[in-house]
Chain A
Amino acid sequence: MEWLILSTFIPPLISAGLITLFFLRKPVIAINLAIFSVCISVATTSILYIPLSKLGELQISLPWLEISGFNGTFKFHLDTLSMLMMSIVSTISLIIHVFSIGYMRGDNGISRYFAGLNFFTFSMIGLVLSGNFITIFIFWELVGLSSYILIGFWYHLPSAADAAKKAILANRLGDTGFLLGILMVWGVFGTTDFDNIQSQLVHPTASFTKLGNIIALLLFCGVLGKSAQFPLHVWLPDAMEGPTPVSALIHAATMVAAGVYLLCRVYFIFAAAALVNPLPFGLVALDVIAWVGAVTALIAALIAIQQTDIKRILAYSTLSQLGYMVLGVGVSDPASGPASSMFHLITHAFFKALLFLGAGSVIISLHHKQNILEMGGLARKLPVTFITFFVGTLALCGIPPFSGFYSKEMIIHAAESNKFLFFICVIVAFLTAFYMFRLLLLTFTGSFRGHDSTKIKENPLVITLPLILLAVPSAVSGLAGIDQVLIKFFGGTIEHINLFEKLYAPFKFAAHSSWWGLCAAVAGVIVSSFLYLGRSEDLLALRLKSLSQLLVNRLYFDEIFGCIIRYSHELISRTMAWIDHWIISETIIGSICGSVGILARLIRLLQTGSVNTYLGIATLIILIILIWLLPK
């Protein structure tokens, strides 16, 4: 039965390999093969529900490397958490594969694209199923590689190539910390296996007491890179250079969620670290995580309110929601685990993929134009797109009964313990509603501000069916009881309530946070409507000129990074040049040369050519030997 686990992610790998080797010029075969392999993944995932519900968890280990002290195995572990995640990844991947048929029609590299999408599916499912740190790190890097391949898909565009490079670099920076954390884990626990570590943490050792928070922070570094938290968030908006389905799959629904998934997977480390020696200022790793998430959410939301590219707004929205999820992990109670973050991750995957695919649909209709200031009034022309987009927007803003409300409310409720964090959550909820409705209104209402409005029509079914398919879970997944499953997985207690009661359960059990969240969202909608409904220009940009410029230029983060790198690099190279010139060349080599020269000149004095001199020297040496060596 365990080999079925392997067949969830190996078929996409095989298919990616076959496409790359044989079918790069036969797009029809490539597309069919790709979709077929993802269908196998989805089917296997569904089949695995049955043994999972019976056994509780399934594992498969593939031994790899056994050096003394280091036991590296590929371990794949299927339990409730990974099953949930795997279902989402495989179904969204399948939906996006179908969408891509329509989106990438006519592109020359379409086979390569589908190979890349398959490879990504393989890596992501492998990551989700990983049972130890070694496996998860390998698949972590593979996911990063797939991201590079797909962001830089149109490699002849320099902006795309640069964006791919930036993504890999930011990821690599995070992965350095991650790898250090893994090494420390191995040093402290002697193993990298998740189950093993979890059982060891029941009685933490002395070394863990000293190093626990440092290990937790280093592991969080990996999340910084992969889930684009501050300060490594700069790669995600640039990653929008890739095709829109790629943005939907990788940079909205799944890959960037891998960081949050990691936090939830090894949450026991963070929970145990909260009980041992804290870092300076009395912080534990979970506090740092919460604040980093909060800062990311706030900054991203602020930048989003003045962006004009439809995909950029959604990218910053993703950043903001990722910040929410990380914040949720940071403030979660060890007793009930980060169920709120996982719940938000799942609902976010659905509605963000929906929003991105909707944006893709709009982009195709307008023949690859992306500036929302040149759109408008598309609601009549693209009705299906508009309705699904509207559903997604409501879900994102957290309006009940759509799914986003329930997941966001769980996080805000968890953040009640810290007044500042609660305040930031509420403000971000307001801003989220504000910019999403700004996007919606400027794109779909009013009159068309672009050039040619006659050719715009709704896209074919291959594009709109995925939108509809994603709109359904965006609407209802909040009520499906996922949060109950998650709380039970992380060890909390649940109450059994029926479907109708679930609708208003937040208002009953967590009234404070849910009312604040709802009011903030509604306020955002109202303000946004006031400013943007039916208008054709951005009033905010006109009124707050310099502040708006600051936000449009993304708070100058890229420029700051560029300056830092350039100046530190220059400082280092100048210092090295100075050392090379003055110390190595002049001093060391110069002294060697000079002393050799002096020595040579001294020895040359012996070459007088005079017989007497030679005789004298010979005599001297013989006398010295005579006098020294002969005994008395």
Chain B
Amino acid sequence: MDNQTKLIMIAPEKYIIISTILFCTGLAGVVGRTNILIMLMSIELMLNAGNLALVAFSQIHGLDGQVLAFFVISLAAAEVAVGLALVTEMFKLKKSSQTDDLKELKM
């Protein structure tokens, strides 16, 4: 039997609110900043906010939320690895980290 730790819980709505704020911040970063690395960081922030929401709901529904959050973290790590590899290629080509310089698709 596990150690039964007693914890006083905060209402999950509050965690949802925090999650929303973090998510929107990350969204603003993705859309608003032009530095590719900061955009990737903002994406991490968004994923993080999603994890927070998942754990908040696992308060209600059991451990499944936390398991899913675990997978999200591992996926985020893989995604960052590939993304940074692509960023490296972009640096090799453009010698710049601004998305303003990625204009090949403009007519």
In the complex they form, whether A and B have CB atoms below 8 Å apart is answered with yes
Using a CB–CB cutoff of 8 Å, the interface residues on chain A facing chain B are: 607-612, 615-616, 619
Which residues of A sit under 8 angstroms from B33, Cβ to Cβ? 612
Contact A609 B106 (CB under 8 A): yes
Q: Which residues of A contact B104 (CB under 8 A)?
A: 609
Which residues of chain B are near A608, meaning CB under 8 Å? 106
A-side contacts of B30, CB under 8 Å: 615, 619
Contact present for A612 and B106 (CB under 8 Å):
no
| B99 within 8 Å of A (CB atoms) | yes
Q: How far is the CA of A608 from the CA of B105 in the complex (A)?
A: 9
| Cβ contact of A610, chosen from B27, B100, B107, cutoff 8 A | B100
State the CA gap A615–B38 with chains docked (Å): 14
Please, how many residues of chain B have a CB less than 8 angstroms from a CB on the other chain? 14
Could you tell me if B31 and A612 are in contact, using CB atoms closer than 8 angstroms?
yes
Q: Which residue in chain A gives the minimum CB-CB distance to B104?
A: A609
Please provide the chain B residues from 52 to 95 with a CB less than 8 Å away from any CB of chain A in the complex.
none
B18 at the interface (CB under 8 A from A): no
Q: Provide the bound-state CA to CA distance between A611 and B100, in Å.
A: 7
Q: Give the CA-CA distance A616 to B106 in the complex, in Å.
A: 16
User: Using Cβ atoms and an 8 Å threshold, which residues of chain A touch B34?
Assistant: 610, 612
The complex places the Cα of A611 from the Cα of B106 at a distance, in Å, of: 10
- Give me 11 A-to-B residue pairs in the complex whose CB atoms sit less than 8 angstroms apart, sorted by A's number: A607-B106, A609-B106, A610-B100, A610-B106, A611-B99, A611-B102, A612-B33, A612-B99, A615-B31, A619-B30, A619-B31
Known: A608-B106, A609-B106. A619 touches B99 (CB 8 A): no
Instruction: Give chain B residues whose Cβ lies under 8 Å from the Cβ of A610.
Output: 34, 99-100, 103, 106
* Cα of A609 to Cα of B99 in the assembled complex, Å: 10
In the complex, the chain A residue whose C-beta lies closest to that of B102 is A611
Is B31 touching A609 in the complex (CB atoms < 8 A)? no
Which residues does chain A contribute within 8 Å of B103, judged by CB atoms?
609-610
Chain B binding surface SS class: loop
Contact of B107 among A607, A611, A615, A619 (CB under 8 A): A607
Residues of A within 8 A of B107 (CB): 607, 609
> What are the residues of chain B within 8 A of A607 when measuring CB–CB?
106-107
**A-chain residues with CB within 8 Å of residue B100 when the two chains form the complex:** 610
A606 to B31, CA, bound (A): 15
* Chain A residues, CB < 8 A from B99: 610-612
Tell me the bound Cα distance from A615 to B104 in angstroms.
16
Q: Are B105 and A609 in contact (CB under 8 A)?
A: yes
What 0/1 pattern do residues 12 to 44 of B give for CB contact below 8 A with A? 000000000000000100111110000000000
Smallest Cβ distance from A405 to chain B, in angstroms? 99
With A609-B105, A611-B99, A619-B27 known, 20 other A-B pairs at CB within 8 A are A607-B107, A608-B106, A609-B102, A609-B104, A609-B106, A609-B107, A610-B34, A610-B99, A610-B100, A610-B103, A610-B106, A612-B31, A612-B32, A612-B33, A612-B34, A612-B99, A615-B30, A616-B31, A616-B32, A619-B30
User: Of residues A607, A609, A611, A615, which shows the largest number of chain B Cβ atoms within 10 Å of its Cβ?
Assistant: A611
CA gap between A615 and B107 in the complex, in Å: 18
- Chain B residues contacting A612 (CB-CB under 8 Å) are 31-34, 99
Contacts of A616 in B (CB 8 A): 31-32
Using Cβ atoms and an 8 Å threshold, which residues of chain A touch B102?
609, 611
Return B71 CB to nearest CB of chain A, in Å: 23
For the complex formed, measure the closest distance between the CB of A603 and the CB atoms of chain B, giving whole angstroms.
Answer: 12
Cβ distance B80 to chain A, nearest Cβ, rounded Å: 18
Contacts of B32 in A (CB 8 A): 612, 616
**B33 to nearest A CB, angstroms?**
8
Distance in Å: Cβ of B86 to nearest Cβ of chain A:
13
| Chain B residues whose C-beta falls within 8 Å of the C-beta of A619 in the assembled complex | 27, 30-31
CB distance from A492 to the nearest CB of B (A): 95
B38 to chain A, nearest CB (A): 11
- Nearest-CB residue, chain B, relative to A617: B31
Nearest chain A residue, comparing its CB with the CB of B34:
A612
CB-nearest residue of chain A to B31: A616
Q: How far is the CB of A601 from chain B (nearest CB, A)?
A: 13
Nearest 5 CB-CB pairings of A with B: A609-B106, A616-B31, A611-B99, A609-B103, A615-B31
Considering the complex, give the chain B residue whose CB is closest to the CB of A623. Answer: B27
* CB of A576 to closest CB in B, whole Å: 43
Least distance between A131 CB and chain B CB atoms (Å): 79
Q: Which residue of B lies closest to A618 (CB)?
A: B31
Rounded to whole Å, the gap between the CB of B48 and the closest CB of chain A is: 18
- Residues in B whose Cβ lies below 8 Å from that of A611: 99, 102
In the complex, which residues of chain A have a beta carbon less than 8 angstroms from the beta carbon of B105? 609
> How many angstroms between the C-alpha atoms of A82 and B94 in the bound complex?
105
In the complex, what residue of chain A is closest to B32 when comparing beta carbons? A612
Distance in angstroms from B22 CB to nearest chain A CB is 16
Give complex CA distance A607, B105 in Å.
9
Residue on A with the closest CB to B33?
A: A612
A residues less than 8 Å from B106 (CB atoms): 607-610
CA–CA, A607 to B107, complex, Å?
Answer: 8
A562 to chain B, nearest CB (A): 62
Q: For A608, give the chain B residue with the smallest CB separation.
A: B106
Residues of B within 8 A of A615 (CB): 30-31
For B31, the chain A residues whose CB sits under 8 A away are 612, 615-616, 619
What's the least CB distance linking B93 to chain A, in Å? 15
Q: Tell me, in angstroms, the Cα distance from A183 to B33 when the chains sit together.
A: 81
Question: In the complex, what distance in Å separates the CA atom of A616 from the CA atom of B102?
Answer: 16
